[in-house]
């Protein structure tokens, strides 16, 4: 998929420029200078991701992820009615969403895949997504996060005077996306059986 | 407000760590190490997508497309400079990251467009990637309404980002 998208973007740009008489030299320079720009972006966001991962690691060790999970448990019982009686599966699901929320980048995806594996064990049809899987995906495709480290790093690299200015706007927009995603999942899971 | 959130979270986490007798410095360093690897591993992806994004900009293709369809997307309230980002966001994380970087460079990170682009980039995860990885890992073939749900949520996030940014950062 990515192969097709990337090839399409690259070829469309080059062929369009050649067809409309664009400067070959400008395009070549753009290609070569992308490396420098990519390094600047990468360094900026790496610094902030590392900062946040350090804090998130302390939070995890202090039991804040499991604590948040315990606090939000009633909400998850409501969101995943089919996991009644599968307490350990619900725990895995909760931990995944809480780790994502706190920005534990390295831990969140393994936790999510573990939750998917446990969900698959109790899934009657191994090729069809269960209701609980669909809800978990609705939460993860939105990936609501307390602190959007990557984009803050990007803003820092771009010389922003207020790199964290978008922390609250991103949370609000993310919340709206999450609510719509969950509502859509709720409405469609009865109708869209296959 | 946002500046305060980061400092408050910082204080809360360190205090919670001390309370639970966590070796806060050691754990911070350990976490930062894995975070740095996550960031640095992004480099080749960012490079590849930045090449494509910058080429599309330099070739004049983006300008032509935005001039052609810009009026239509602005009719529904989406700033024309943001439309390409909104399209790319659910498809590729590194691609939309590169495009956001480019929007920040051209319009400035603290301009309305820069703030809106940052919000769009920061408010959701990459739908297509998550669906592929999560279902791929356990061999699910019939994904039902998940892709549709993810894309609809992205659209809702976009609309919310525009409204929230207008309210928080003024018109633009």
CA-atom Rg of chain A in angstroms: 21
pTM of the predicted model, to two decimals?
Answer: 0.90
- Give the chain A residue nearest B23 (alpha carbons): A58
Asked if residue A60 belongs to a domain, the reply is yes
Its domain, for residue A102, covers 37-188
- Give the chain A residue nearest B101 (alpha carbons): A154
Rounded Cα gap, residues B153 and A141, in angstroms: 8
Which of A112, A133, A155 best tests the B interface by mutation, with the highest count of B CBs <10 A?
Answer: A155
CB contact under 8 A, B50 and A37: yes
CA-atom Rg of chain B in angstroms: 19
What's the pLDDT at B69? 87
Closest Cα in chain B, distance from residue A159 (Å):
7
Q: Residue A83 carries which DSSP code?
A: G
CB contact under 8 A, B137 and A117: yes
CB contact under 8 A, A46 and B3: no
Which SS3 state, helix, strand or coil, does residue A40 take? helix
- Give the chain A residue nearest B141 (alpha carbons): A127
pLDDT tens readout for residues B38-53? 889 889 999 999 999 9
Task: Tell me how many domains chain A contains.
Answer: 1
What's the pLDDT at B171? 64
CB contact under 8 A, A54 and B100: no
* Residues contacting residue B111 through CB under 8 Å, at least 6 positions apart: B172
Closest Cα in chain A, distance from residue B82 (Å):
15
What CA dihedral angle connects A67, A72, A74 and A77, to 10 degrees? -110
**β-bridge partners, B142:** A128
- Two tokens, residue A103: 């920005």
Answer whether residue A45 shows pLDDT above 90. Answer: no
pLDDT tens readout for residues A76-133? 999 999 999 999 999 999 999 999 998 886 778 889 999 999 999 999 999 999 999 9
CB contact under 8 A, B168 and A153: no
Per-residue pLDDT of chain B (172 residues), as tens digits, is 666 878 888 999 999 999 999 999 999 999 999 889 988 988 999 999 999 999 998 998 988 988 888 888 888 889 999 999 999 999 888 899 999 999 999 999 999 999 999 999 999 999 998 999 999 999 999 999 999 999 999 999 999 999 999 999 986 5
Q: What is the ipTM of this complex?
A: 0.89
Closest Cα in chain B, distance from residue A1 (Å):
9
pLDDT tens readout for residues A11-36? 999 999 999 987 889 999 999 999 99
Helix (H) or strand (E) holding A172: helix A167-188
CB contact under 8 A, A61 and B51: no
Give me the mean pLDDT over the A134-138 stretch: 97
CA-nearest of B114, B44, B56, B110 to B88 is: B56
Q: Which of B123, B135, B138 is nearest residue A117 as measured by Cβ atoms? A: B138
Whether the Cβ atoms of residue B27 and residue A58 lie closer than 8 Å to each other: yes
Return the domain boundaries, chain B: 46-169
Asked if residue A1 belongs to a domain, the reply is no
What's the pLDDT at B1? 60
- Give the chain A residue nearest B116 (alpha carbons): A166
Tell whether B97 is within 8 A of chain A (Cβ): yes
Asked if residue A6 belongs to a domain, the reply is no
């Amino acid at each position: 998929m990515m192969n097709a998208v990337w090839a399409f973007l690259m070829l469309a740009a080059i062929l369009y420029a050649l067809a409309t008489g664009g400067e070959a030299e400008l395009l070549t320079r753009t290609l070569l200078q992308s490396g420098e720009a990519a390094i600047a972006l990468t360094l900026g966001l790496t610094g902030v991701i590392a900062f946040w991962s350090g804090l998130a690691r302390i939070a995890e060790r202090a039991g804040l992820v499991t604590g948040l999970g315990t606090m939000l448990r009633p909400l998850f019982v409501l969101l995943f009615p089919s996991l009644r009686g599968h307490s350990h599966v619900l725990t895995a699901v909760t931990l995944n969403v809480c780790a994502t929320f706190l920005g534990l980048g390295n831990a969140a995806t393994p936790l999510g895949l573990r939750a998917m594996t446990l969900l698959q064990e109790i899934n009657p049809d191994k090729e069809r997504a269960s209701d609980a899987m669909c809800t978990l995906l609705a939460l993860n495709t939105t990936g609501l996060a307390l602190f959007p480290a990557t984009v803050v790093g990007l803003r820092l690299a771009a010389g922003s005077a207020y790199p964290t200015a978008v922390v609250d706007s991103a949370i609000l927009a993310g919340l709206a996306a999450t609510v719509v995603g969950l509502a859509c999942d709720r409405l469609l899971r009865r109708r869209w059986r296959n | 407000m946002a500046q305060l959130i980061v400092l408050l979270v910082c204080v809360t986490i360190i205090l919670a760590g001390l309370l639970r007798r966590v070796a806060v410095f050691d754990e911070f360093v350990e976490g930062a190490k894995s975070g740095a690897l996550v960031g640095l591993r992004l480099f080749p992806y960012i490079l590849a997508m930045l090449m494509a994004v910058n080429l599309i900009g330099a070739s004049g293709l983006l300008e032509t497309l935005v001039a052609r369809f810009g009026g239509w997307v602005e009719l529904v309230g989406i700033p024309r400079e943001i439309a390409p980002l909104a399209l790319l966001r659910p498809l590729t994380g590194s691609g939309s990251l590169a495009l956001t970087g480019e929007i920040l460079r051209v319009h400035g990170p603290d301009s309305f467009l820069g703030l809106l682009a940052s919000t769009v980039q920061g408010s959701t995860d990459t739908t297509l990637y998550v669906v592929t990885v999560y279902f791929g890992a356990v061999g699910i073939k019939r994904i039902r309404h998940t892709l549709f749900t993810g894309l609809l949520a992205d659209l809702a996030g976009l609309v919310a980002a525009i409204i929230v940014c207008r309210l928080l950062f003024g018109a633009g």
